[in-house]
Amino acid sequence: MAIDCVRSSTPSLSQTASLSEGSEIFEPPHAFEDADPKSRIYAPNCLSLEKLVNQTLCAVRQGRAAEPPQELVKNRKDCPLESGLATFELGAPLSIGFALTGGERDYMEDRQGFSAFEYGEGKKGVIAIVCDGHGDKGLIAEHVVNNFAPMLSSAIAMSLEVEGSDDFLEIFTNAITSICLTLHEETKIFSERVEGTCLLALIAMEGKRYFVNVGDSRAVLATENGEVYRLSEDASPKYVHCAQEIIRAGGDFSSQSGCLRVGGVLAVARDIGIEIPGVIHRPKITVASIEDGESDAKKGKIAIQRNDALILASDGLWDVLSDHQAAELVLRSLKNDMSPERAAQEIVKKAYELGSRDNITAQIILNI
């Protein structure tokens, strides 16, 4: 199979295509050659690649990933984990293994979930979600995980009424945007304080894969032959185009303890729940189609084989692991006959041992 990223016909500053007011498609543009010609990092070309800080975890122009130092932190061996495994039938069995830990935090604000849904005439789909909550002990993240899938089913039903028309992609992605904005409004019932969540979701439908991202959680595809593809875009004020989005939306940002924060508070430029000038509540959506064919990274077409894996994870993992490091660890675990659940456990444990100070959540998805 192959994943073929929908390409933008009118690229803007952030390399997205505006579908209507607020609905955006993120286009991962091209791959960068690594020292091993079989190994590539897939990264958005909208970034200032030469100026990425160490934790950016993206490709640099000379073709080498910016990798955090692999130094284990003392007394970080015992990592309390919650984990599990689920399998869905979607043409072929689709397996989702997950693991999460509160880490060094006194409270757990991450949430994750997955479910099957039906649409059209007996068709089946699967949704997998990772939410990174902040400021509310995970209440808003839990609300989003519990309500996104039911709202999605209704949106799909309405969108399918125009399936086959030229407007289907626009209508469906606008429906996803509407869900995110509705969830944002609903969070006001929880608190008036600065509380919210990042959202990362995979929506798997027949022939299509939609990656929905609000914030800085990340989706990474690890292929068995060593290629690594990033299928979402981190929304952070440390990126020039995100900083400009914040300013255009009437906000500002400043450095707090070495971290750029919108309004001096929030480290992400997109969020559900937090009302700070400049913070955007709309998602960026990567749309992919599944088809037979060979890989052509320059055209955005990526071959997916049976033993490839998709990683969905909160930033607690990406703070200490690069895309490549995470991919190598997951593939090594799977080659040693570990289940997706065990692979998720291994990657979360590694991030904890490397000193991540955040909650850490990861989903490993096979047969994407």
- Domain presence at residue 80: no
Q: What is the mean pLDDT of residues 246-271?
A: 88
Of the listed ranges 38-47, 136-145, 173-182, 249-258, the least confidently predicted one is 38-47
What is the pLDDT averaged over residues 256-275?
Answer: 89
- Split into its structural domains, the chain has a count of 1
Task: For residue 176, tell me if it sits in a domain.
Answer: yes
pLDDT in tens, 81-99: 999 999 998 888 899 999 9
CATH number of the domain that residue 354 is part of? 3.60.40.10
Is residue 61 within 8 A of residue 72, CB to CB? The reply is no
- Amino acid identity of residue 108, one-letter, is M
Nearest CA to 283 out of 194, 161, 197 is that of 197
Residue type, position 121, single letter: E
- Pairwise CA distance, residues 139 & 159, whole Å: 30
pTM score: 0.80
Q: Are 225 and 274 in contact (CB under 8 A)?
A: no
Average pLDDT over residues 14-20: 27
Q: What is the pLDDT of residue 14?
A: 26
Lowest mean pLDDT among 45-59, 70-84, 115-129, 217-231: 45-59
Across 42-46, 242-246, 337-341, least confident range: 42-46
What is the arithmetic mean of pLDDT over 140-157?
A: 89
The pLDDT value recorded for residue 38 is: 33
Looking at residue 130, its amino acid is V
> Please, which contacts does 146-152 make with residues 24 or more away whose CB atoms are closer than 8 Å?
146/113, 147/183, 147/186, 148/179, 148/183, 148/199, 148/201, 149/113, 149/115, 149/117, 151/179, 151/182, 151/183, 152/117, 152/127, 152/176, 152/179, 152/203
Assigned domain for 95 exists: yes
Asked if residue 20 belongs to a domain, the reply is yes
Q: Is residue 133 part of a domain?
A: yes
Q: Is 62 inside a domain boundary?
A: no
The pLDDT assigned to 138 comes to 86
Buried b (16+ CB within 10 A) or exposed e, 92-121: eebbbbbbbbbbeeeebbbbbbbbebebee
- pLDDT of 3 > 70? The answer is no
* pLDDT value, residue 296: 63
Residue 246, domain extent = 2-28+85-366
Q: Is residue 66 domain-resident?
A: no
Q: Under a CB-based contact definition with an 8 Å cutoff, are residues 272 and 144 in contact?
A: yes
Q: How confident is the model at residue 110 (pLDDT cuts 50, 70, 90)?
A: very high
Instruction: With respect to residue 89, please indicate whether it lies within any of the assigned structural domains.
Output: yes
CA nearest neighbour of 155 among 4, 279, 280, 283: 283
